[in-house]
Chains A and B, each alone.
Chain A
Amino acid sequence: MRKRRDPIKDTAREVRVFRARSLLAALLVLLMAGGLGARLFYLQVVEHDVFTTRSEKNRVRVEPLPPTRGLIYDRQGKLVAENRPTYNLTIVRERVQDIDATLDRLVDILGLDETQVDAFRKRSRQRQRPYQPALLMSDLNERQIARLAVNRYRLPGVEVEAQWLRHYPTPKIMSHVLGYVGRINEEELASLDSGNYAGTHFIGKTGIEKQYEKALHGQAGLRKVETNARGRVLRELERTPPEPGKDLTLTIDTRLQKMAYDLLDGRRGSIVAIQPQTGDILAMVSAPGFDSNEFVTGISYKDYQSLQENLDLPLFNRAVRGQYPIGSTIKPFEALAALQNGVVTPQEVIYDPGYYKLPNDSRHYRNWLRWGHGRVDLERALAVSNNTYFYTMAHRLGIDALSSFMYKFGFGEVTSLDVQGASSGTVPSREWKREKYGQVWYPGETLSAGIGQGYWMVTPLQLATAEATLANRGDWVRPHLAKRVGETSVEPPFKNTKPDVKLDKDVWWDDVFNGMEKVVSGREGTARHIGKGLKYDMAGKSGTAQVFSLGQNQKYDADELKERLRDHALFTAFAPVDDPQIAIAVIVENAGGGSSHAAGLARALADEWLLSDDENTHQAEELIKEDVEVEGT
């Protein structure tokens, strides 16, 4: 083999080169080591605090200890909102080998749908640390739990967690009073005390649950635990126990509430009953109701849609938001206004030819009885609900005197203590009309207002409140739903929130009460049919609210149209007259005249409240069924 030697192999040069190169390398090594040192200095000295915090956050986990939500009782101590143990399915992503296969398996076992799986994937991504379980499905039933237990061996990382869930034993009848709790949404999350709600999943959305959220929720506790990277708790470092939410006792009497709901018997309407001395709301029904439990577990879009589109508006709380013309139920208050303003005496007799005419105006304002009631004094005017008499009163008073007197009874404002979402209604006046429509007030409108038609808008709650104040002879009480929060009584009657209604002569109350008594028990009373077998004195007043127009967006067939154009029936009452125990407002939508359709309901409720079980013959319910046709408004 011919070897091709390199021309010159200069060993000395090689040594020189190596020496230079290795010196250079040594310098480079020093430089790089210096670089590492600098980096370490940066991490361990400059950024030390940042990383210390981060390392502590790793090690120490603050676990919220959510408080149990307070229970809600009615005034008799009956449970109306409780906490029920439920089971949720969670997955610890890190313990699952093949998440897709596991999810497929769970879809088979539990029959999950795509949205649940997608929601899980989203929750899983939003976790703050590894080994944190993410919710896949809430409220498992027994069957599902059993099927999971059987398949447990091939579902590592899949766990069933217990959780308290709100439950309403009487959902429909109490739905509008209690409202409901639901999962905290992002909007709420932003405004909540995040510390206190860290472990809480539900929050009061409407009604009492929302109104008393703070008390019902309680104060979250926390525990600081040391955990390892897999989230296993190694030891507890610190613990602050939670303060459970306060139990709430309502003023509502479930028995009365249920009766009121049943009395409405599928009709649209509202009944509010108040204890006059205390302002306790004994019953507050808006019918139809809805199943509030569906909202706790999360109502499906379809179900929600059908509730929303339901023409009967089950989600609408008529008792506090429903606005109706006051109708003839204004007349007792108007009579007091007239007496107090000195435009009439109880004894003054007014002749009713069947209509009223303003001076210099040819238009006839009609009594409901075409041929008139003839000679009418205050008592008779109330008993027969004479329009001509009250046209006269309204004309004598003028709209402003009338409305300012109505304000004293709580119309036109929200007076309740703890009722969510109450409307203030409308009390018309010259100024109100100028502001609202930019128009002047016409004298004719005063007359319409005098019989409770026109611009008047009242809620059933306002009507019942006014009725209670009336029964109290002007002593103001603030209506409220909570009787006790925890051990603390919600003390009535909340004086000073509004001045009492004072009359120059106390006897005027009696004059008006007499007239109202005659409504029920007088020979000519518009609701005399419910006076049969009455075992106590009852003061009442019927009313009819004209339905002028239908709301937009309402779809209906011809029959329904006819039905929905009928007048609303109103009835207000309190009893016993000498010592009022209950004040009631009843509104039945599109039921025709108030005396025929709403009065019986008020009688039945009063019977229930005032009579013992032995005394109560449930005559009123029979009277309602008879469907008497009575004249009058």
Chain B
Amino acid sequence: MKGLEWRRFSRAPADGMGRKRSLWSRLHLDPWLLLLLLSLMGAGLVVLYSASGMSLAVTLGQASRFGVALLAMFVIAQFAPDTLYRWTPLAYCLGVAMLLAVEIMGDMGMGAQRWLEIPGVVRFQPSELMKLAVPMMVAAYLYKRSLPPSMRDLLVCALIIGVPVMMIMRQPDLGTSLLVACAAVFVIFLAGLSWRVIGLLAVLLASALPLLWFNMHEYQRQRVLTFLNPESDPLGAGWNIIQSKTAIGSGGVFGKGWGLGTQSQLEFLPERHTDFIGAVLGEEWGLIGMLVFLALYVLIVGRGLFLANTAQDTYGRLVGGSIVLTFFLYVFVNIGMVSGILPIVGVPLPLVSFGGTSSVTLLVGFGILMSVHTHRRLLPR
């Protein structure tokens, strides 16, 4: 690890071009990304207020969670990528250990177990940590390797990804496990995975689908079946998809107006302030509202990818790029789900759905991105 040390410097006084650093740079924040995120969160709160049935408590609760998340983002942004890099293996191992703990506790308890809890003190979902730790670990590994990754590298990566993903899948939380896997795969993709391997993997994946089917829980299979034909069980499993599509479709171009969505307000829409908040948005704000949000998301992704490109080393680039793409994946899966083109998986709409944990994870991710962007070393590698 000697070579690594001389190559990395933190807290460089100026960027590589020698210009004087701006205030934003000193704060290790990117103003454009921050502005976009704040806009999204602000608009999200407006939607959430209506989606929670005009509950000020829920909205303020979410706002305070945003506050915490923003703080976390700011703090993380202060750490140099080098520091993050050093801590990555530890975070990864800790995550795996906690997943193991959850599993053991789950065996003792009953049913689905996703939380690790010290009663009264803290409640933590290890899979949430893994959303960041796994891609970072892959990036850290690949960083040391010559890219594009060789077959042997890929096998190591598969191991790094496979262990936690399998454990999350067993919780069972198919949605999160797939998202974690995707985040890590994005890293490999950005690292320059050859197209031949990509093609091969695609074929392998397709042939593994039946295997996946037989390993799924009954309720997971039901979700897929219902997705394929929601009308088969309109009062049960198909209800969510039907009602969500109805909410969005009836919103039309201009929407029914804030707080006036009948599907949302009369509770035909299930989980309206969490996973299905997108349908509330579509119903009350119409196509225009949906497109505004989509545009915000795309701009964030665009800015994020730009920031990742400005990172000084491959580790930062890979981590940053993966974070941004994963963010978009959430958006795509969630909106795809509420609009009925994807099966129902428990993926929230980023920074709009009610929920503290996911917001913190997302903003911590953006914090890493900002760190990657704003920390410059004097010496190029």
The chain A residues found within 8 Å of chain B, CB to CB, are 6-11, 13-15, 17-19, 21-22, 25-26, 29-30, 32-33, 35-37, 39-41, 43-45, 47-48, 50-52, 54-56, 58-59, 127, 129-130, 226-230, 234
Contacts and interface: CB of A to CB of B under 8 A. Distances in A.
A22 B309 contact: yes
Contact of B148 (A17, A41, A230): A17
Contacts of A130: 235, 239
B246 interface: yes
A13 B317 CA distance: 13
A55 B249 CA distance: 9
A395 B235 CA distance: 78
Contacts of B192: 14, 17-18, 21
B11 interface: no
A18 B250 contact: no
Contacts of A45: 252-253, 287
Contacts of A36: 294, 332, 335-336, 339
B249 A47 contact: yes
A607 to B, nearest CB: 66
Contacts of A13: 147
B365 interface: no
B339 A51 contact: no
Given A26-B305, A39-B339, A40-B291, A11 B314 contact: yes
Complex A-B, nearest 4 residue pairs according to Cβ-Cβ distance, in ascending order: A51-B249, A6-B146, A55-B250, A17-B192
Contacts of A234: 266
A58 B266 contact: yes
B99 interface: no
Given A10-B146, A26-B305, A48-B252, A43 B294 contact: no
B301 A52 contact: no
A58 B301 contact: no
B297 A44 contact: no
B6 to A, nearest CB: 14
Given A21-B191, A229-B267, 12 more contacts: A15-B314, A25-B305, A35-B341, A36-B332, A36-B335, A39-B341, A40-B282, A48-B252, A51-B250, A52-B252, A54-B246, A59-B268
Most chain A beta carbons < 10 A, residue from B145, B243, B247, B249: B249
A129 to B, nearest CB: 7
Contacts of B9: none
B190 A21 contact: yes
B325 A33 contact: no
Interface in B312-363: 314, 317-318, 321, 325, 328, 332, 335-336, 339-341
A52 B332 CA distance: 25
B369 interface: no
A337 B341 CA distance: 87
Contacts of A52: 249-250, 252
B308 interface: yes
Interface of B: 144-148, 186, 189-192, 235, 239, 243, 245-253, 262-263, 266-268, 282, 286-287, 290-291, 294, 297-298, 301-302, 305, 308-309, 314, 317-318, 321, 325, 328, 332, 335-336, 339-341, 381
B325 A25 contact: yes
B266 A228 contact: yes
A73 B290 CA distance: 66
A18 B317 contact: yes
A130 B339 CA distance: 22
Contacts of B144: 6
A44 B251 contact: yes
A22 B308 contact: yes
Contacts of A33: 294, 297-298, 328, 332
Given A32-B328, A44-B252, A55 B246 contact: yes
Contact of A226 (B186, B266, B298, B314): B266
A35 B247 CA distance: 19
B146 A29 contact: no
B146 A25 contact: no
A58 B263 CA distance: 8
B349 to A, nearest CB: 12
Nearest to A9: B146
Contacts of A30: 298
A15 B248 CA distance: 42
Given A18-B314, A19-B309, A48 B250 contact: yes
Nearest to B295: A33
Contacts of A41: 287
A26 B291 contact: no
Contacts of B328: 29, 32-33
Contacts of A37: 290-291, 294
Contacts of A15: 314, 317
Contacts of A47: 249
A174 to B, nearest CB: 44
B314 A14 contact: yes
A22 B321 CA distance: 7
Contacts of B267: 228-230
A43 B340 CA distance: 10
Nearest to B270: A229
Contacts of B262: 55-56, 58-59
A226 B298 CA distance: 39
B128 to A, nearest CB: 23
